[in-house]
């Protein structure tokens, strides 16, 4: 029977960050991944913010297969018949070190796995963890591919629907409110065409987020990121919102309709779809976080619910990388003390609380409830689009002054509702 210092279930960002850190500190680490290779099954919109995690993995960034550094931000309020775009381009986004990059997980995860292996981690692919082994109320290993594999600690990094932490009795499946489903295509385009269409130079990149008709008014939004030689395009829809809408909405049809929109179609024209993927995202925030540790086990990344949608940013990757790193630090402490019970492993939560990870989650704990207000998705894009349409309209007769034009849209009832929305927005 094999015994390792640490077994990690899942070679996503959380698992590989933990493996890289642990192996780098001399521990014997086994990573088990059900996919054909790391990244084969992993989906992200595609934007990684490096600043919070730069110092945790200092040796990695120079060689990391990042796509483009983002210098153009855009938010598009997409209504049925019109849209309003807000763009941002700041010189600080061009300055090194760059704040954020587009990435492709199939490339990035594979490369990160190689770095972990170079440090000494052992990676087995096409092996699914099916069960955990529990003895005297402590997790002492896993069953995978018919084998019994033992370790001092198991780290569950098996993603959003974490079977491993569920089998360990740590996680209970959450409510549909706490999840969204994402659909994504990677569309190949010539780099020169990308640069022309998005007003970019060299390896600069653009990031666009869309709300409103991107999801036909359902809770969620659309995204577009430019990669070196492709575009990542997709929609994310709240699971509860899909359920409430009954059988009518068809998520793949929503992505198709999004691609046909006049704001999108010219940007992807002539492109070839290379990849199509669907994946669930934890979006419940702080109040929906699962347990982070138990006797002989730690939980990191999406498996613990560590992804955060705050409207203007959707982040999960740096929380996955950071939680993997802090899980490894907790194991190193436990290993020095030769004690892997939950009291010792509780230091992991403390590390996360002292870092940006749980500080962000606490800061934005009201955000999921506030963003759940349907008016943000199905009312404001129409309202703002309507206002802009009227402002730009030149009728056959005389044109109204600006103030009466605005008052047509901002009625007293509307302003009263907006005050209530503003009160909610003040919580985030």
Ligand X SMILES: Cc1cc2nc3c(=O)[nH]c(=O)nc-3n(C[C@H](O)[C@H](O)[C@H](O)COP(=O)(O)OP(=O)(O)OC[C@H]3O[C@@H](n4cnc5c(N)ncnc54)[C@H](O)[C@@H]3O)c2cc1C
Which spans of this chain sit near ligand X (rule: CB under 6 A)?
A: 9-15, 32-35, 41-48, 128-129, 157-159, 163-164, 182, 184, 234, 236, 279, 281, 301-303, 307, 314-317, 320
Q: CA-CA distance, 97 to 295, in Å (whole number)?
A: 40
Closer residue to ligand X in complex, CB, 128/375: 128
Are 300 and 331 a contacting pair, CB within 8 Å?
Answer: no
Q: CA-CA distance, 287 to 278, in Å (whole number)?
A: 25
Are 331 and 298 a contacting pair, CB within 8 Å?
Answer: yes
Q: How far is the CB of 40 from ligand X (least distance, A)?
A: 7
CA proximity to 112, closest of 6, 203, 230, 21: 21
CA–CA–CA angle 219, 221, 222 (5° rounding): 155
Q: How far is the CB of 343 from ligand X (least distance, A)?
A: 25
Closer residue to ligand X in complex, CB, 278/337: 278
Q: CA-CA distance, 6 to 69, in Å (whole number)?
A: 35
Q: How far is the CB of 406 from ligand X (least distance, A)?
A: 35
Q: How far is the CB of 192 from ligand X (least distance, A)?
A: 25
Token pair in block for residue 418: 């907006």
Within 10 A of 265 (CB to CB), how many other CB atoms are there?
11
Closer residue to ligand X in complex, CB, 311/389: 311
Within 10 A of 315 (CB to CB), how many other CB atoms are there?
19
Closer residue to ligand X in complex, CB, 82/177: 177
Closer residue to ligand X in complex, CB, 348/382: 348
Q: How far is the CB of 339 from ligand X (least distance, A)?
A: 26
Q: CA-CA distance, 49 to 103, in Å (whole number)?
A: 10
Closer residue to ligand X in complex, CB, 131/366: 131
Q: How far is the CB of 329 from ligand X (least distance, A)?
A: 17
């Amino acid at each position: 029977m094999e015994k390792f210092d640490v077994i990690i279930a899942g070679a996503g960002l959380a698992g590989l960050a933990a493996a890289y850190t642990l192996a780098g500190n001399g521990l014997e680490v086994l990573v088990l991944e059900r996919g054909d290779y790391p990244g084969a099954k992993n989906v992200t919109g595609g934007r990684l913010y490096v600043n919070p995690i730069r110092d945790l993995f200092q040796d990695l960034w120079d060689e990391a297969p990042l796509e483009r550094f983002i210098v153009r931000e855009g938010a598009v309020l997409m209504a049925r018949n019109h849209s309003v775009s807000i763009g941002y381009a700041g010189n600080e986004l061009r300055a090194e070190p760059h704040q954020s990059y587009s990435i492709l997980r199939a490339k990035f995860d594979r490369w990160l796995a190689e770095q972990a292996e170079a440090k000494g981690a052992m990676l087995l692919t096409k092996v699914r963890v099916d069960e955990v082994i529990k003895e005297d109320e402590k997790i002492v290993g896993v069953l995978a591919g018919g084998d019994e594999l033992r370790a001092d600690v198991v780290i569950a990094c098996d993603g959003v629907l974490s079977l491993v932490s569920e089998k360990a009795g740590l996680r209970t499946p959450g409510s549909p409110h706490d999840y969204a489903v994402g659909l994504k295509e990677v569309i190949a385009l010539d780099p020169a065409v990308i640069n022309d269409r998005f007003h970019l130079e060299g390896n600069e990149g653009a990031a666009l987020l869309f709300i409103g008709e991107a999801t036909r008014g359902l809770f969620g939004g659309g995204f577009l990121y430019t990669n070196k030689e492709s575009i990542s395009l997709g929609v994310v829809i709240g699971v509860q919102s899909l359920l409430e809408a009954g059988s009518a909405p068809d998520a793949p049809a929503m992505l198709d309709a999004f691609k046909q929109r006049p704001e999108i179609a010219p940007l992807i024209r002539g492109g070839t779809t290379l990849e199509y993927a669907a994946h669930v995202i934890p979006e419940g925030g702080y109040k929906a976080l699962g347990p982070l540790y138990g006797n002989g086990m730690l939980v990191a990344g999406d498996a613990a619910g560590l992804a955060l949608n705050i409207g203007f940013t959707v982040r999960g990757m740096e929380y996955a990388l950071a939680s993997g790193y802090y899980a490894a630090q907790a194991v190193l402490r436990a290993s020095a003390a030769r004690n892997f019970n939950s009291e010792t492993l509780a230091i992991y939560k403390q590390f996360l609380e002292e870092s940006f990870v749980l500080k962000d989650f606490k800061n934005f704990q009201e955000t999921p409830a506030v963003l759940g207000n349907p008016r943000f998705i199905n009312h404001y894009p129409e309202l703002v689009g309507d206002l802009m349409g009227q402002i730009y309209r030149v009728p056959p007769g005389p044109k109204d002054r600006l103030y009466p034009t605005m008052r047509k849209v901002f009625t007293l009832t509307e302003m009263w509702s907006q005050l209530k929305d503003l009160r909610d927005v003040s919580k985030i």
